[in-house]
Structure formats: C-alpha cells, structure tokens
C-alpha cells in the first residue's frame, strides 16, 4: 500500500501547545513511511524543527485572510507535494475549512470536518441550546454583545465568574474592575459575543474521541487534569474510567452526529458531583499523543477513516491510572530552514540557503 501523504497544521508546542506536533508523533508510530507536510502559520512553530517532525513545512496565510487565500496557498504547496489527506487542528482554521469542504473534495483532498451548521451548534455561545436537547448541565451562562451588557449579566450571575471570548481564552474575574479589563481585552482580541458563566469549583476532565458522523464514535479516552498552568492548560493528566462521564459525552456526540476528532471539556462540580459541560472543541487536543503512547492511536484511526473509505475498527479503551506529564525540551533550529520558510519556500531546501540568508533583514531574525 502506498505510504500516505498527510498535511498537518498547528505545530507549535510550548506554553500553549497546539495539537499538530502530537498528531505527527502519533502518525509516525503507525505510519513510519508517511510523508508529512507541516502547514504553519509562523516560522517559529517549534514542531517544525523537532526530530522526526514533518518532512517538509510551509507557511500558510492566517485563516483571517479568508478561504480563497488558504486555497491558493494549498494549491501552490500541492504543486510541489500533492498531499491527499489533511488534518487541520486549530479552531480558527477549522471554522474556515469547514465551509470549504466542497473545494477540498474537488481538489482530491480528504479531510474530516463537520458541516458548518454542526460546527456552529457546539460553539460556546450555542451550548445552552445544545444541552437542552440532551440533558447535560452547563454553568449558568449569559451571552452578551458588549461591555454594558456584560455588567448587567455580572449583576445577575454574581462574582466570581468566568468571561470567555467566542474562540479562545477564558478569565476568572472577581469584581467589576477585573471584568472590565478581561472583557475589553477579549472583545479587542476575538470580537463579540462575550460569554459569561457562573464560576464552577471542581476538578477538570477532558474527553478525546473520534466521531463516526452517524451518532457513534470509534473510541474515546477520558482523563482528569491533575496540574494546570496559570493559563488553565493541562500540564498533567491521568486516565479515568467513569461510565457517567462516558455516557454524557456519548449523548452529546449522538445529538451532534459528530464526524471526526473532538475534545469535550467538563468540570465535576464539587458541591453536587455533577459534570458541567464547559466546551466542545472540534479537533484533537494537544495531548492527543498520550493515548497513542498507550496503544490507542486516534490520529492513525483518523487516517484509516480518510484513507481507506471504510469503517475502521473501534479503538480499545485506555486503562485508567496512566498519566502524562508535559515535558518541555529545547529543539534545535537552523537559520537556513528558518530563512527558507520565511521566504515562503518549502523546507528543508538547503540549496536555498545562501541566497535567502542574505535577503533577510536583520530585524526579523530571532
């Protein structure tokens, strides 16, 4: 069988890691001969430079540039390397690529993206409507367009509360001054609406899986976050096996008929012991390679789905009690590779080096 040629985006690790580098590691375990094409939004994405990382990397325009710009860039990359499978990993690009499904199919690129309307149903601002259909609890929520409405909502909810942007970031605020700062920042950074939620105290749980698009899933892995960074990112986690948690997530996936990768974030409320739904992410999480190290390879399963056009074998459960700890290391970059990428050239292309190095203004070098 021909080795797959797979494009993966979101390769940065570090303080706020993206899923792509973990996906590449998982794919390498199962498909050592795969040709992996990294699609990066920044030349400083650390996953470009890791050992056994992507075979080549290319800079992409930001998703805010729009669908046409992304497709143009993909067309130009595929002239050099005609990848046929694509795993997008960032919320902002999934939003755009989901609306480009037909164009991707026309180009012979297989990917697994939810339809725009399904994607919308799991967006933070639409979760209250979603949970009404499947009996899952969420923290008390207000969706507001601006700061004045945020003050009114805070008056109803009381402090502390959590204020979130529509795509990224969540901040806990304890008073009006903190709300003003957080809401202003989120509106400036991500636009409206703002999502305000009552603060829920309890342990955080994440569930990773791959939906079959018909209401079921090919497998899932539940973990409890055991250490959080000051940005609320999981620095460590341990696998658990709670049928109540699994059933609740299965209900959500059934309701959405979710196709492809997902991560569901929940908090188990201390006072009631109930799980509260916080977020449904339309992609693999940054810890996707952890279950793959336990023999439960979700990224490889996705490639099976895409490559073979047949129903893959469901994955086994992850045994409870295995844990991960996020471990940061330095990776070595080469200014020549950096230069090639900065020029919009493919990487690695060592023969470009002398020419590109001399053409880079000193102020853009790291």
Contacts with another protein by CB under 8 A lie at 203, 205, 223-224, 226, 238-242, 268, 320-321
CB of 59 to another protein, least distance (A): 40
Nearer to another protein, 110 or 233 (CB): 233
CB of 159 to another protein, least distance (A): 28
Nearer to another protein, 235 or 349 (CB): 235
Token representation of residue 214? 């018909």
CB of 244 to another protein, least distance (A): 8
Nearer to another protein, 220 or 224 (CB): 224
Q: Count the neighbouring beta carbons within 10 Å of the beta carbon of residue 97.
A: 23
Residues of 203-218 as b/e, b for ≥16 C-beta within 10 angstroms? ebbbbbbbbbbeeebb
CB of 320 to another protein, least distance (A): 3
Nearer to another protein, 121 or 326 (CB): 326
* CB half-sphere exposure, 189, CA atoms < 13 A: 15
Nearer to another protein, 224 or 283 (CB): 224
8-state DSSP, 120: H
Q: How many residues does the chain have?
A: 366
Distance separating alpha carbons of residues 208 and 264, to the nearest angstrom:
7
Report CA dihedral (204, 207, 208, 210) to the nearest 10 degrees. Answer: -160
CB of 288 to another protein, least distance (A): 19
CB of 317 to another protein, least distance (A): 11
CB of 206 to another protein, least distance (A): 11
CB 138 within 8 A of CB 157: no
DSSP count for the chain of H helices, then E strands: 13, 14
The dihedral region occupied by 243, where left means phi > 0, alpha psi between -120 and 50, and beta the remainder, is alpha
- Compute φ and ψ for 68, nearest 5 degrees: -60, -45
Nearer to another protein, 140 or 242 (CB): 242
DSSP 290-329: HHHHTT--HHHHHHHHHHH-SPPPPPPPPPTT-EEE----
Nearer to another protein, 274 or 345 (CB): 274
């Amino acid at each position: 069988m021909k080795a797959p040629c797979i494009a993966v985006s979101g390769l940065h690790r570090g303080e706020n890691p993206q899923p792509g580098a973990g996906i590449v590691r998982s794919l390498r375990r199962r498909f050592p001969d795969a040709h992996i094409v990294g699609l990066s939004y920044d030349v400083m994405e650390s996953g470009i430079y890791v050992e056994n990382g992507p075979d080549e990397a290319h800079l992409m325009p930001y998703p805010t540039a729009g669908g046409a710009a992304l497709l143009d860039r993909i067309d130009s990359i595929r002239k050099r390397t005609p990848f046929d499978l694509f795993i997008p990993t960032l919320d902002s690009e999934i939003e755009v690529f989901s609306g480009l499904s037909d164009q991707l199919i026309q180009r012979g690129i297989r990917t697994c993206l939810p339809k725009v309307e399904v994607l919308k149903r799991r967006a933070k601002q639409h979760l209250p409507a979603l949970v009404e259909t499947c009996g899952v609890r969420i923290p008390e929520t207000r969706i507001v367009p601006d700061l004045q409405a945020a003050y009114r909502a805070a008056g109803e909810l009381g402090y502390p509360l959590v204020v979130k942007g529509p795509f990224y970031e969540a901040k806990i605020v304890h008073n009006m001054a903190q709300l003003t700062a957080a809401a202003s920042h989120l509106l400036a950074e991500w636009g409206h609406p703002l999502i305000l939620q009552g603060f829920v105290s309890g342990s955080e749980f994440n569930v990773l899986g791959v939906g079959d698009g018909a209401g079921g899933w090919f497998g899932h892995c539940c973990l409890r976050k055991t250490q959080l960074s000051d940005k609320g990112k999981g620095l460590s986690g341990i696998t658990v096996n709670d049928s109540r948690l699994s059933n609740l997530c299965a209900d959500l996936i059934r309701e959405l008929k979710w196709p492809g990768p997902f991560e569901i974030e929940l908090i188990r409320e201390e006072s009631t012991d109930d799980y509260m739904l916080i977020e449904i992410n339309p992609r693999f999480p940054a810890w996707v390679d952890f279950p793959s190290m336990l023999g439960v390879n979700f990224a490889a399963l996705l490639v099976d789905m895409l490559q073979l056009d047949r129903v893959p074998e469901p994955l086994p459960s992850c045994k409870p009690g295995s844990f991960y700890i996020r471990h940061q290391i330095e990776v070595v970059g080469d200014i020549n590779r950096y230069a090639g990428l900065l020029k919009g050239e493919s990487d690695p292309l060592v023969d470009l080096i002398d020419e590109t190095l001399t053409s880079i203004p000193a102020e853009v070098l790291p």
